[in-house]
Amino acid sequence: MSTYLPTEVLAGLENARRADKKRKSRLRVEFDGDMYPVVRMWQDGFALDAETAPHLRGLVDLYDGANHLSQCLVVASQEDNGELQFEFKRNTAATDTAPRDFVRPDGAPIAFIEYNPSNR
């Protein structure tokens, strides 16, 4: 039995593997209004498909489906195995509330309700 595979078959298998990675990943990067699927992510960066992704540099938003995960400052580092790899210069987690510049005491009221005597 031979273990040799024609180059066309190997190329087809590699394309199928890359397409499967893109389909399974929910992670997306938004840059200038365009979304690009993240193929792979690690602590210091992420990788996009080299065929479809531009050389990003600057501020991008990272999403998991519709959830905004973080705002990142990135730079393209290298291209390897059909992946364009990017490194984080800054990775700031996204929050749905504004940061407070004061310490909130325990038991403090959340909101004030105005008293209106005509609404009895």
CATH of domain 26-93: 2.40.10.430
Render pLDDT for 49-78 as a digit per residue (tens, 0 to 9). Answer: 888 888 888 999 999 988 999 999 999 888
Q: What is the pTM of this model?
A: 0.63
* DSSP code of residue 104: P
Cα four-point dihedral sign 12, 56, 85, 68: negative
14 has pLDDT over 90: no
Average pLDDT, the chain: 83
Whether residue 101 contacts residue 116, with contact meaning beta carbons closer than 8 Å, is answered with no
- Residue in 95, 92, 51, 55 with CA at minimum distance from that of residue 73: 92
* Domain locations in the chain as residue ranges: 26-93
State the DSSP H helix or E strand holding residue 13, giving kind and residue range, or none if neither: helix 7-24
- What is the pLDDT, as a whole number, of residue 19? 66
